[in-house]
Every structure is written in structure tokens, then in C-alpha cells.
Amino acid sequence: MEIKRIIKQIRNFVKEQDQSGIKLNLYKSVYDFSQYFKDLDLSVDLDKNKEIILQEETQLELGGLNRKSFSLVYPTIELNQIEDGKISLLGPEIQEIKEPSVDFGLFLLIQVKSLSEKEFNNLRLLNFISNGIEGFLIRTIPRKFWCRISTDVIKKNFSFEFLGNAIFYLYKQKFKNLIESMEVLFINSYPNPIDEFMSIVSEIIAHINDQWIKKIEEWRKRIDCEYDWGCEICPYQEECYEIKQVLIEREKIDNIPKS
């Protein structure tokens, strides 16, 4: 897979969508995150905003059961063409959206200094930002990316510009010196561009899926699992997790130097 070629295709895609009449907003990451969040009166901090947003408290849903949606986080050490701090938005800003839900996609590209298998997997777990942003919730359901934004924070001018900055800040807080640069693209309200974008990044998705399948196969061999269904819908998921924790602790004991 040639990631530089794919990134070039993504940039051409964004230009073409802009030329076709779809609104394009371009933002740049702020220099002083703390002051920026303070001015907006919106809290952003690691694990400090764990909350459940009920349906009646929600003004806008991004994605959902009846909407097209995706989230894709891709860490890499292979390129130096990330425009650090760039936030691209294809579609209207949050204050301009009148519907209660919209199609939504998020692509986060991260350049890192090193990339072990563990680092790759940890960086791809976007859901931790849900516990770091006031009034923002990621709902976890298989094969769907689904976010809720509360009425209260939209009244404070919660925006995709703010969301991009919050993501940058939380990733830098969590992964500290590992990250060199980041760039994010949001797409909302337009299902056809989402389909086109997913086609462009199909090689990235296939690469991630291949790694995940290999990991599952290795894990199943370790526990003698013979089921055909995926782990996320397996009725024995809880029991499997408990077995995994036992094996992890066992490995720790085995790795203790013997005197």
C-alpha cells in the first residue's frame, strides 16, 4: 500500500468536492488550547467529561442507525506530507445544521515517531475522546460510528472547528511525545461524498482489517475458539475476555526473572 498516493487522492477529492459546490471550511489548530477552550466555556480534558447524553438532551446526532457514517484513524511513520493542525470540513458547520441527525465521517491522519503494533492499535482507538469533551458522546455499536452532541454545548457554539482542536489536544495529552503531526477531515450531510471517500481509502481499511483478522486468528488459536462469527457479536465475549486477562497475568508471571 502506497500511503502517499492515497493522501494525494484525498486532497484531490476535497478540491473536487469544493469545486462541485459542496461547502468547504478550512481551519487551523490553535496555539493555546487552554485559552481557546476557556474562551468558549467548553471543558476538554482527559477522562474529565464522562457523561451519558440522553436522547432528550441531544440536539444533533452525527451518524446513527439510519445514516451513513465512518470513523478512520490511521497512524503512520511513512510520510512527511501531513499539514499539521489542518482541520478540513466538507459540509455545513454545526450551527448551520437544522436536521436532528446527519450523515457523518471522520478521518484522522497521524504521523508518529515510532509505530509498534501496540502503538498502532492504541492510536486507532478514537473512543477515548468521548470521555474528554463536554457534551459530546460516542456511542459504540458494531459497524457504526455514532456521536451525540448536547443542546447545552451547541448553545455555547460547539463546532467542527472546536471538535478538531479538541481531538488534537486530547491525542497530544494521551500520547505525549509519540505524535509528530495530525490532520483531520470531517464530512457531513452528503452521503455520496462519503461513499466516494470510502472508496479512496479502501486500501487503508483493507490493511487495518487484515491486521485485525490476523490478531483474531492468533487469539482464537490460543483459546481453541472454533466459532465463525466476529468477536463483537460473540455471546461468549465476556467469558473470552476473562480468559484473556488470566493469560495476560500468566505471561507476566512467566516473564519475571528467576533468582
pLDDT the model gives residue 138 = 94
Q: Read off the amino acid at residue 253.
A: I
Mean pLDDT along residues 173-190: 95
Cβ–Cβ under 8 Å, residues 153 and 60:
no
What's the gap between Cα 3 and its chain centre? Answer: 18
| 49/254: higher pLDDT | 49
Cβ–Cβ under 8 Å, residues 171 and 191:
no
Model confidence at 211: pLDDT above 90: no
Mean pLDDT along residues 25-32: 97
Model confidence at 203: pLDDT above 80: yes
Note the pLDDT tens digit of each residue in 92-112: 999 999 999 999 999 999 999
| 3/249: higher pLDDT | 3
Backbone phi and psi for residue 75, each to the nearest 5 degrees, phi listed first: -85, 145
Closest by Cα among 65, 99, 82, 87 to 189: 99
Task: Categorise residue 109: left if φ over 0, alpha if ψ from -120 to 50, beta otherwise.
Answer: beta
Mean pLDDT along residues 47-72: 93
Model confidence at 42: pLDDT above 50: yes
Distance CA 86, CA 108 (A): 10
- Mean pLDDT is lowest, of 30-39, 80-89, 159-168, 245-254, for 245-254
Model confidence at 147: pLDDT above 90: yes
pLDDT the model gives residue 259 = 47
pLDDT the model gives residue 63 = 94
> What band does 25 get if pLDDT is binned at 50, 70 and 90?
very high
Q: What is the DSSP letter of 91?
A: S
pLDDT the model gives residue 246 = 56
Model confidence at 223: pLDDT above 90: no
pLDDT the model gives residue 48 = 94
pLDDT the model gives residue 148 = 96
pLDDT the model gives residue 132 = 97
Q: Catalogue the E-assigned strands of the chain.
A: 24-28, 58-63, 69-76, 86-90, 101-102, 104-112, 136-141, 144-150, 179-188
Sheet architecture: strand order including 144-150: 101-102, 58-63, 144-150, 136-141
Count H helices and E strands in the chain, helices first: 8, 9
| 113/214: higher pLDDT | 113
Model confidence at 218: pLDDT above 80: no
- This prediction's pTM: 0.83
- What are the structural domains of the chain? 3-210 (3.30.1650.10), 212-254 (no CATH)
